[in-house]
Chains A and B, each alone.
Chain A
C-alpha cells in the first residue's frame, strides 16, 4: 500500500498526534497514539467501544487533557492557557453523539449563540449567517423550532450548523449518528458527505462502516487505546493487514 498518496501530503499536516497518552485512574484510555490528519481529509476513527476513539477526539479540542505525548494543531502544540484554548476551539467545530443542543433556545438561537457571544458579532449579521447555514443543512423551515420539537436527525443537523457557524478549520464528529433512529441516520450522513465534498477537514468517530468506506480518505482502527492499523479505506475494508481488524469488522457483519 506504499503507492497510496494521502490528500495534501505535500503540505504540513493540520493535526499531528504524537505518542498521545491518557489515563482515567488505572484505566489507560490512550496508550501512545500517533497519527496525523492533513487539510481536507476525512479521517474516520473506528474500533470497539471503549477503545479510545472518542477520548482522542475530546483531547483534540482540549475537553480532556492529555497525560503524555503531544497534539499539534496547525503547527503548534495545544496551549494550556484558558484564553488560548478558547481561540483554538473556535477553529474546531464539534458535534456530539447526544446533539447537546441548548434546549432553551430555538434552532436559530442555537446557531447564533457562538457568533454573538464568542465572536461578538452583531445580531443581524449572526442571524443572516445562521439562516444560511440552517438552509444548507436542509432546515430553512425549522429555524423557530425548539430542539424538543425537532427529530433526532434534525437536531443533529442543527448541531452541525451550530459548529459550522464558527467557520472551523476542522470538524470533530463524535459518533454523530449513534443516538439516531435508523430512518434519520441517512439525512445526517448526507450533510456530512456534502461537507466532505466541499473539502472540509473532518475527523469522524463512527460505527457507520459504509460511511467510512465511501467517504473517508483515511481510516484508523483503534483497540484498547492503541492503533491497530491505519490506512486508506480500500486497505482497511478490503485487505486489512492486521488479523484483529478483520475480526473487528467480522463482528460487525462486514465481509469486505
Chain B
C-alpha cells in the first residue's frame, strides 16, 4: 500500500479551521454548562418540591442518554417539537449543553453538599441571607473542590465534540472525514486526525493533572 502524506499538508488550513471549531464548541459548551450546572444543582437542593423534581428529571434524563443519540435527537426531533430549525453548529451545541449541564450539576451538587453545614451557619449567624451565604461562602469553597472534576469534564468534552460530526458540524472530525472521503486517503487522514486530537488534548490533560495537584482537597 502506497502512502501519500501530502494530502495532510494540502488540507492544513481546513484542518486548522476544523480544530478551531472544535475548540470553540468545547469552550461555548462549558461556558453555558457551568452556570447551567450550578443552577440545576441549586434547583435540586431547593425546598420547593416541583423545582427540585423538575431539575432531578432533567439531570437523570440527559445524563443517561447516549450523547450520540442526543445529537441526532436535537437534529431531527427538536425542530419538530419547537417548530423552528437551528443551524447544525447550534444544534450540536444544544445537545452538548444538555448532556454536560446534567453532568456538571452532579459535580456541583456533590461539591456544594461537601461543605459542612457549620460554614453556612457561621454566615447566617452574622446576619447574611441565604443567597449571600451561597455566593460568598459555599460556592467559592465548592468551586475549588470541583475544579479538578470540571477540568476532567472539559478534556472528555473536547474529544466528545467529535460526535456532532454526524450532523455535519464542520469541526475537526467532520472536516477530516470529509477530506478522507474526497481523497480516499483513509489511513493518512485518520492518522492526521488522531495526531491533531492528541497534540491538542495532551497538554489539556497535563493542565488537568496540575489543577488536581494544586486544588485537590487537602483538608
Residues of chain A touching chain B, judged by Cβ–Cβ distance below 8 Å, are 61, 63, 82, 86-87, 89-90, 92-94, 96, 98, 100-104, 113-114, 117-118, 159, 162-163, 166
Contact = CB atoms under 8 A, between A and B. Distances in A.
Given A63-B121, A96-B121, A104 B126 contact: no
Given A63-B121, A102-B119, A162 B126 contact: yes
A87 B127 contact: yes
B121 A82 contact: no
B contact face: mostly helix, strand, loop, or mixed: helix
A147 B118 CA distance: 15
Contacts of A89: 124-127
A103 B143 CA distance: 13
Contact of B125 (A92, A98, A101, A103): A92
Nearest to A118: B127
B156 interface: no
Interface in B130-145: 130, 132, 136-137, 140-141, 144
Contacts of B121: 63, 96, 100
B128 interface: yes
A82 B131 CA distance: 12
B86 interface: no
A104 B141 contact: yes
Nearest to A89: B127
A contact face: mostly helix, strand, loop, or mixed: mixed
Contacts of A114: 126-128
Looking at B121, B130, B144, the one whose CB has the most chain A CB atoms below 10 A away is B121
Looking at B116, B118, B125, B144, the one whose CB has the most chain A CB atoms below 10 A away is B125
B46 interface: no
22 contacts: A61-B125, A63-B124, A89-B125, A90-B126, A90-B127, A98-B116, A102-B119, A102-B123, A102-B141, A103-B141, A103-B219, A104-B140, A113-B126, A113-B136, A117-B126, A117-B132, A117-B136, A118-B132, A159-B122, A163-B125, A163-B126, A166-B127
B114 interface: no
Contacts of A100: 116, 118-119, 121-122
Looking at B116, B130, B137, B140, the one whose CB has the most chain A CB atoms below 10 A away is B137
A92 B124 CA distance: 11
